Amino acid sequence: MNKQVKLSKRPIGVPDESTWTLETNPIPAAKEGEVVIKQEYISLDPAMRGWMNDMKSYIPPVQIGEVMRAGSVGTVIESKHPHFKEGDVVSGWGGVQQYIATNGEGFYKVDTNLAPMPVYIGTLGMPGMTAYFGILEVGKIKEGDVVLVSGAAGAVGSIVGQIAKIKGCTVVGIAGGPEKCKYLTETLGFDGAIDYKNGNVRQGLKEHCPKGIDVYFDNVGGEILDLALSRIRRNARIVICGAISQYNNTTPIKGPSNYLSLLVNRGTMQGMVVMDYTKDFGKAAMDMGSWMAQGKLKSREDIYEGIENFRDTFMRLFTGEKMGKLVLKVSE
């Protein structure tokens, strides 16, 4: 049977027990031109929270009654499609379900000899691509820049920081808890880490970025964005990738009070959506794969099991109780 998580009610604030329902349906069959994929891993990303709101965005919202949208990786178990064959491992937008029948649109083959499956929804998937294009194309880092990244131990932030190190920047990460901070400096080679759960971020920024910040890659928004703005240098770039601190708000989003620092410092704040860079994913994957092979880029996945645990696992994104890329294993 095929267990599927469907959106049953739009959450106001934190998603709860009534937000999704778990359905069990027959495993679909492939029609002409389709494949059936047995999904192994589902990607859990902060952006998913945004897709649940009924508002105009860069992608249509998930509709009530639809399978919850998610990136995934799995194995083709039946193919009536010219480009895929049984046994192919593919990644795409499979949603939170164990099986999917699809015409293959948006799915592409991946090579598990080069990297294990979960990496293809992490460092070599959307989060990694977001980091790559965000820090290089939007952040426009150059050697010697001071780069600050929030959500630094997460799927995107950890890659942002490592790419910035590869490019010769000084990199400071903001993360929650001593374990994550230690991981940033000792394992990933960040120059500094600030523990926002157990320290004073303002003071940490003074200590770790005494000359200010050239590039801030923002995954969190809220107070931390304001603190970063207060320390930007001339011509600084702020990459707006996300605002996880604000996604479950029931009150209006906190806008950055210090945004006039952009004026004083001739700064730029720019938003990004990874889908815009699709045509260059190939080149990015080659760079990233090569850095991984050289040991310069480390990928860490935090894998939980059981589609029944989707909500509890998803909520770890917001509590921070996870390390690296959050993944749910849905195959049984």
Q: Which residues bind a second copy (CB under 8 A)?
A: 56-58, 221, 226, 240-243, 246, 252-273, 276
Nearer to a second copy, 14 or 58 (CB): 58
Nearer to a second copy, 89 or 273 (CB): 273
Nearer to a second copy, 51 or 108 (CB): 51
Would you say the C-alpha torsion 243, 246, 252, 253 has a positive or negative sign?
negative
Residue 148 CB-density burial (10 A; 0-12 exposed, 13-18 middle, 19+ buried) = buried
Q: Label residues 206-241 b or e (16+ Cβ within 10 Å = b).
A: eebbeebbbbbbbbbbbebbbbbbebbbeebbbbbb
Place of tokens 């934190």: 14
Smallest distance, Å, CB 252 to a second copy? 5
Nearer to a second copy, 138 or 193 (CB): 138
Nearer to a second copy, 109 or 266 (CB): 266
Which tokens sit at 273?
A: 């959506």
Smallest distance, Å, CB 150 to a second copy? 14
144: left (phi over 0), alpha (psi -120 to 50) or beta: left
Nearer to a second copy, 211 or 263 (CB): 263
Smallest distance, Å, CB 269 to a second copy? 4
220 within 8 A of 210, measured Cβ to Cβ: no
Smallest distance, Å, CB 241 to a second copy? 7
Smallest distance, Å, CB 288 to a second copy? 22
Phi and psi (nearest 5°) for 236? -65, 155
Smallest distance, Å, CB 52 to a second copy? 15
- Number of H-type helices and E-type strands within the chain: 9, 15
